[in-house]
């Protein structure tokens, strides 16, 4: 079992969520609901790992989860 952080961003134009996996370059997906986005993320991560293994590439481990903060900026 592996553990990865996923970042879910609301898609304000299309609806649903866009999902990025910071530890796995190019691994992203989307879903119409939060639940669907999470399920699709699991599938995308599994496919990314399977492809990397097939190509003999190293599978990145997430040493420390990224932090997401919302800050105020005077502009």
Q: Structural domain of residue 27, as residue ranges?
A: 1-75
Q: Which CATH number is 7's domain given?
A: 3.30.160.250
Task: Quote the pTM value.
Answer: 0.88
Give the pLDDT band (50/70/90) at residue 68. confident
CA-based nearest residue to 6, from 53, 57, 17? 17
What's the pLDDT score for residue 65?
87
40 within 8 A of 19, measured Cβ to Cβ: yes
What is the three-state SS of the chain?
CCCCCCEEEECCCCCCEEEECCCCCCCEEEECCHHHHHHHHHHHHHHHHHHHHHCCCCCCCCCCCCCCCCCCCCC
Give the pLDDT band (50/70/90) at residue 35. very high
Asked if the model's pLDDT at residue 32 lies above 90, the reply is yes
The count of domains in the chain is: 1
């Amino acid at each position: 079992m592996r553990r990865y952080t996923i970042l879910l961003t609301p898609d304000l134009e299309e609806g649903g969520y866009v999902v990025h996996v910071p530890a796995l370059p190019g691994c992203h997906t989307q879903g119409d609901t939060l639940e669907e986005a999470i399920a699709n993320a699991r599938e995308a991560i599994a496919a990314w790992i399977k492809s990397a293994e097939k190509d003999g590439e190293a599978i990145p481990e997430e040493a420390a989860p990224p932090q997401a903060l919302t800050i105020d900026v005077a502009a």
